Amino acid sequence: MNILLLGAPGSGKGSQAELLEKEYGIVQVSTGDLLRDAVSNNTDLGAIAKIYMDKGELVPNDLVLELLSDRLKNRDCDNGVIFDGFPRNIEQTELLEDLLVERERELDIVVNIEVPFDLIITRLNSRRVCSGCGKGYNTITSPPKGENCESCGGEIIIRDDDREDVVKNRLDVYDKNTKPLIAHYSQKGIMINMNGVGKIAEIYEELTQYIKEKKVQ
């Protein structure tokens, strides 16, 4: 099964993808993670991507598609993929559909997770990460026990793309470029709209019910 998760940055797509991975044995492919890995590994693609990411702007399509295409070649994607963070505009939608045809795949379900922007800003401003091991923290729900990471002792920082000014720009970009995808996939009859406000487990229970109904059809 191939699933696409739509929703603004901070809407909870990553949390739902992790749960889906464990239950269904399908792998999450987050273009955000692919881009951050490219940046941290100082690759040529990563250096270009960082310029856009630091401003909260969309990374060029050809760069993202190259990273995504390479990732889909891995054997762990054979059983299915959860797409998170791509596509983000209509042009990328067409590119993804072409890529899936090449891989003899198709999207089974598109899930749109809806969360008010003011709540998203609060969520992202509270996120922290260890600069050493990458362990995630949240100043509201799961704050670090001290000034440094309890796993490796590394410095706990706020990511550049979680700064409030960048978050607001990311949300503006989403509102302008990504929202049209909702109408696109609704016309295809594979769209599910979900309220992303609430407990992660409750949202996931509702999501899996949709998936089970889809598999029965």
Q: Give me the residue spans of the domains in the chain.
A: 3-116+161-216
- Quote the pLDDT of residue 217: 47
Among 93, 55, 60, CA closest to 190: 93
Instruction: Write down the pLDDT at residue 215.
Output: 58
Question: Consecutive sets of 10 residues in the chain, 217 residues long: mean pLDDT of each?
Answer: 91 90 91 89 91 85 90 91 87 90 90 94 91 91 90 92 88 87 90 92 92 66
Enter the CATH code of domain 3-116+161-216: 3.40.50.300
**56: its two tokens:** 């909260």
Helix 180-188, helix 90-102: angle, nearest 10: 40
Which segments within 95-199 are labelled E, that is strand?
Answer: 109-114, 127-130, 136-138, 156-157, 191-195
According to the model, what pLDDT value does residue 77 have?
Answer: 92
Single-letter residue type at 201? A
Q: What per-residue confidence (pLDDT) applies to 51?
A: 92
Per-residue exposure over 172-188, b if at least 16 CB sit within 10 Å of its own CB, e if not: ebbeebbeebeeebeee
Closest CA to 49 of 61, 32, 35: 35
Give the three-state DSSP class for 150.
Answer: coil
pLDDT at 31: 86
What are the residue numbers of the active site?
13, 88, 127, 159, 170
